[in-house]
Amino acid sequence: MARTTPQTHDEILAAAARRFGVTGYRGTSLQDIASEVGCSKAAVLYHFANKEAILTELMAPAIEMLRSLDEQIVAQPDPARAQQVAAEGFVDLAVRFRGEIALLRGEFPELLQQPVFAHIQQISERLAEALAGRSGRAAARICALVLLAGIAETCGEFADVPDDDLRDALLALLRRALEPAR
């Protein structure tokens, strides 16, 4: 008989996060997660329809913060203010959810192809456009994309750096790297 308790749902999420961190999303099976929890694969499927549903729930708080940031950026008619909102908001998101970002390192392009995450690509494009100061210049857009990828990567690498220190360092970098929006 499958062991299911009120804690099993949270145990599955925690085990999935650990497994994704070790073997990646693609390299983790439902059976791997079940074995780590000490339950059957059927018990995992009782709580989650599939592995994508586990990932979706793990990422839900970060995705919600990203959606909120997108709404704030879209609401800014002034390119300079949109750039500032994008920079500060993305750094805050990356620092707060650096553990989740680290779990999926190297797998974002493939995951963005899944229907449940398709909207993230569009949000990322608007974020890059805002960071580029809505200038339309290729150099500004290239800089914005490199900074977005670099910030995400950096947050995963510096798990031992206090949040405020990491945030301050990343915002200082953005101020130096980005052209002021006109």
pLDDT, tens only, 134-161? 998 999 999 999 999 899 888 888 888 9
pTM of the model: 0.85
CA distance 48 to 180: 46
Across the chain, what does the average pLDDT equal? 89
Per-residue confidence band for 80, with pLDDT thresholds at 50, 70 and 90: very high
- Predicted confidence (pLDDT) at residue 41 exceeds the cutoff of 50: yes
| Mean pLDDT along residues 45-69 | 93
Distances in Å between the Cα of 60 and the Cα atoms of 57, 117, 122 are 5, 10, 17
- Of 49-63, 68-82, 95-109, the least confident: 95-109
Same fold yes or no, 8-48 and 59-177: no
Q: Which CATH architecture has domain 8-48?
A: Orthogonal Bundle (1.10)
pLDDT score, position 100 = 84
Distance of CA 81 to the CA centre of its chain: 23
Residue 117's pLDDT is what? Answer: 79
Q: What is the dihedral of CA 106, 108, 114, 120, to 10 degrees?
A: 180
Contacts of 103 (CB under 8 A, 6+ apart): 17, 20, 21, 25, 58
- Name the E strands within the chain: none
CATH number for the domain running over 59-177: 1.10.357
Average pLDDT score over residue span 106-125: 80
Residue with tokens 């192809």: 113
Domain definitions of the chain by residue range: 8-48, 59-177
Structure-model confidence comparison of residues 169 and 182, the more confident one: 169
Residue 120: pLDDT over 50? yes
Helix 8-23 and helix 51-74, axial crossing angle in degrees, nearest 10: 80
Q: How confident is the model at residue 21 (pLDDT cuts 50, 70, 90)?
A: confident
Would you state the pLDDT for residue 1? 43
User: How far is Cα 182 from Cα 176, in angstroms, rounded to an integer?
Assistant: 16
- pLDDT > 70: what percent of the chain? 96
Crossing angle, helix 51-74 and helix 118-131, to 10 degrees?
Answer: 30
